[in-house]
Amino acid sequence: MGSNDLISDMLTRIRNANLVGLEKVLVPYTNVNFDIIKILKDEGFIDSFDRVKEEKPNSSKLDFISINLKFKKGLKQKPYISFMKRVSKPGLRVYVNSHNIPKVWGGIGIAVLSTSNGLMTNKLAKLKGLGGEVLFYIW
């Protein structure tokens, strides 16, 4: 894989799948990606997810996370995720302390932070009085 920023890669795959109305998307398995997907599920942004192994002809096994995206029912299927923005990037890390945790889109959206207690939403980090690296915003 060309991208050394696996979080950006995952967000882009989800964004692209949403744009074309795909209900399933595969992202490479990493512990961080898996933890992020768990948060997105808990926060109601995706329907479900599974860890899947894909056999390649040259006998290498690749781990993926299969994500079932969530759409609002209606005449035109609208994705639940309307916006995602990578905040902290490998070239420019963005950190906040517990007093400067951002509120995302008036509280409708969430920020995912990497804290000393693992990955969590901005709301949970604020509750626990933890700062950390702001990975991305989503709403």
Contacts of 103 (CB under 8 A, 6+ apart): 122
CA distance 25 to 40: 14
| Per-residue model confidence as pLDDT tens digits over 44-77 | 999 999 999 887 777 677 899 999 999 998 878 8
d(CA 139, CA 136): 10
76: domain CATH number?
3.30.1370.30
Same domain for 31 and 77?
A: yes
My answer on whether 49 and 102 are in the same domain is no
Question: Chain-wide mean pLDDT for the chain?
Answer: 93
Assess contact for 66 and 24: CB atoms under 8 A: yes
Say yes or no to pLDDT of 1 above 50: no
Range of the domain at 104: 83-139
Residues 76 and 94 occupy one common structural domain: no
- Predicted pLDDT at 71: 93
What's the CATH code of the domain at 123?
3.30.1490.10
If you average pLDDT over residues 108-133, what whole number do you get?
A: 97
Examine the domain organization and report whether 113 and 135 are in the same domain.
yes
Mean pLDDT of 25-50: 97
Query: What are the distances in angstroms from CA 53 to CA 26, 31, 119?
Result: 11, 15, 24
Gap between the Cα atoms of 81 and 70, Å rounded: 8
Can you give the pLDDT at residue 3?
57
pTM of the model: 0.90
Domain count, the chain: 2
What are the start-end ranges of the H helices in 21-138?
31-42, 122-128
